[in-house]
Amino acid sequence: MPAKSYKSLQPKKSLGQNFLTDPWWIQRIVSAIGLDHDERVLEIGPGKGVLTEPLLSHANQVFAVEIDSRMVGHLEERFADAPNLRILHEDFLKLDLAGQIGPGPLRIVGNLPYHVTSGIIGAVLDAIRRNHEGAEDGPRITGFDIMIQKEVGQRICSPHGNKVYGVLSVLANLLCDVRIALDVPPKAFSPPPKVQSSILHFHPLPAMRYPLADWDLFRAIVRCAFNQRRKMLRNSLAGSASPLRDGELEHIGSDLLERRPESLSPREFAELSNRIHGGRGE
Ligand code: SAM
């Protein structure tokens, strides 16, 4: 694409467009992601394609999912000769992974707008959970690397007992090993974000860390508990937004209910959820 139109792709704040521009950092990020040549990779939010280009030379096939039509037009021209790239003009949150990508191993990577981070992590965790439950129609997620606000990354990796421990820390722990793979400073981007960033690496476990009778119930309990994180679970789960049925709590004699959510380990959340599920006799 001619230099002039490349430059005219002005960042849209509403789409969280902080582009990676520093070649040294781009190379470090690609090494931290660590791809194999036989892998399929889905990149969420490729933007102008600065990460897409090295991904294409490190992976067997790349799917680039981009919401902004200006970027899609640019990518189509820039990578017109790349046989191993498929550009999908889509919102990742609405993407039909099974229909568009199909079965087989898949790595997911993305430098994403920070305001959609939680939704996108939730969607990828959901795909991993479906893998654990044996769904065969969609791809099998073998790794997920996402650029994230550093503090959010620390929160997700946090163990229980910590005040930043929350919903995503619990859900991610059930499904994956999670670690911060690389810290990335604002100067690596243009425009530079106001916050420090990190690449967070999710490595899906072969099976859920603890057996769960009902993932939806478990997730709803965790969300409800952390919505009122200063309350004991017995009180937050008795509220109007509770996923529990009328009177259900009265039959659960568990000390776990007398604690605040940040003190419960992921295993204890799983235990409580299984107990409530067991009480339903379904
Ligand atoms: N990966 C590029 C880079 O590192 O320079 C662009 C990063 S920019 C922070 C995020 C990109 O994600 C933008 O191109 C934006 O249009 C795109 N995007 C935002 N929301 C999206 C969504 N829901 N689905 C797909 N792409 C999205």
pLDDT at residue number 8:
63
**pLDDT band at residue 53, thresholds of 50, 70 and 90?**
very high
Spell 140-161 as b/e; 16+ CB within 10 A means b: ebbbbbbbbbbebbbbbbbebe
Instruction: Indicate if ligand 1 lies below 6 Å from the C-beta of 92.
Output: yes
Instruction: Indicate if ligand 1 lies below 6 Å from the C-beta of 210.
Output: no
In this predicted structure, the answer to whether residue 5 has a pLDDT above a threshold of 90 is no
Instruction: Indicate if ligand 1 lies below 6 Å from the C-beta of 193.
Output: no
In this predicted structure, the answer to whether residue 176 has a pLDDT above a threshold of 80 is yes
pTM recorded for the entire structure: 0.93
Nearest CA to ligand 1 atom 27: 45
Instruction: Indicate if ligand 1 lies below 6 Å from the C-beta of 113.
Output: yes
User: pLDDT tens digits for 107-157?
Assistant: 999 998 888 999 999 999 999 999 999 988 899 999 999 999 999 999 999
**Which residues, 6 or more positions from 249, have their beta carbon under 8 angstroms from its beta carbon?**
234, 237, 238, 257
User: What are the domain boundaries of the chain?
Assistant: 3-204, 215-280
Look at the domain 3-204 and name its fold: Rossmann fold (3.40.50)
Average pLDDT estimate for 85-89 = 98
Instruction: Indicate if ligand 1 lies below 6 Å from the C-beta of 111.
Output: yes
Span from the CA of 93 to the centroid of ligand 1 (angstroms) = 12
pLDDT at residue number 4:
39
In this predicted structure, the answer to whether residue 271 has a pLDDT above a threshold of 90 is yes
| Residue for token pair 């994230």 | 148
Span from the CA of 135 to the centroid of ligand 1 (angstroms) = 28
Of 258, 129, 99, 195, residue with least CA distance to 121: 129
In this predicted structure, the answer to whether residue 93 has a pLDDT above a threshold of 60 is yes
Instruction: Indicate if ligand 1 lies below 6 Å from the C-beta of 45.
Output: yes
